[in-house]
Amino acid sequence: MKYILLIFSLSLILCSTPSRSDTQDRVTGVTFPFEFEVATSKFNSVKIEQGIELFKIQCAPEMCSLTRILLNNCIQNAKGQVFSKPGGGTITTQSSFLEAKLLGNKLELVLYQATHHSFPAKIIATFEDLSLSKLKSFTATDFIDSSLGAKYFYEHLDARVEYIPFQGNQFKKLDCPVFLPGINKYN
């Protein structure tokens, strides 16, 4: 009986592991590696610098990745202290949550923000030419607001956000101190 369960378990693992061709199907048109990053802010936000979202995208023929970093999202704790707690994460096309398609000088990424390919967000990056070295335009639409945090994810599925890129390189002094969690030592 143990052996039957072991064989059954192994067959489930093998059947659910994506093959190389399955993961390659999630990246189309990419023939050489390239990467870029762009700072954005929520469209129609009260203050454009509030809630800066940094998008970093790296692509190669076999895989693309999307890294998002949230900065300058000032909040107030129960003690009245105002601070920003950076957040973010990275996802790749090796998961079933990100797909990438390059057509000429336009890269389109679709990020599924929940299981079963639901709540798709779309990123469209257009480059000046086929060398993909200079970003010309960038849009990121239908994102669930990451500043709400995971606690409120399912309560605010209708609160979709569009991110617009900053124009030109900029330096920004953050509006509030950054909270940096460390290891607390107890005596």
Task: Give the pairing type, strands 82-84 and 87-92.
Answer: unpaired
Mapped onto helix, strand or coil, the DSSP state of residue 41 is: strand
Contact 102, 59 (CB under 8 A): yes
* Percentage, residues of the chain above pLDDT 90: 42
Locate the DSSP E strands across the chain.
27-28, 34-42, 52-60, 63-71, 74-76, 82-84, 87-92, 98-103, 106-114, 118-127, 135-144, 160-165
Neighbours of 65 (CB within 10 A): 19
pLDDT for 122 equals 96
Neighbours of 186 (CB within 10 A): 3
For residue range 161-170, list pLDDT tens digits in order: 888 898 889 8
Query: pTM, whole model, 2 decimals?
Result: 0.76
The dihedrals phi and psi of 116, each to the nearest 5 degrees, come to: 60, 35
For residue range 37-63, list pLDDT tens digits in order: 999 988 765 555 567 889 999 999 999
Residue 9 binned pLDDT confidence (cut-offs 50, 70, 90)? very low
Contacts of 187 (CB under 8 A, 6+ apart): none
Neighbours of 85 (CB within 10 A): 15
For residue range 121-133, list pLDDT tens digits in order: 999 999 999 999 9
pLDDT for 2 equals 43
Is the pLDDT reported for residue 186 higher than 70? yes
Residue 187 binned pLDDT confidence (cut-offs 50, 70, 90)? low
pLDDT for 106 equals 97
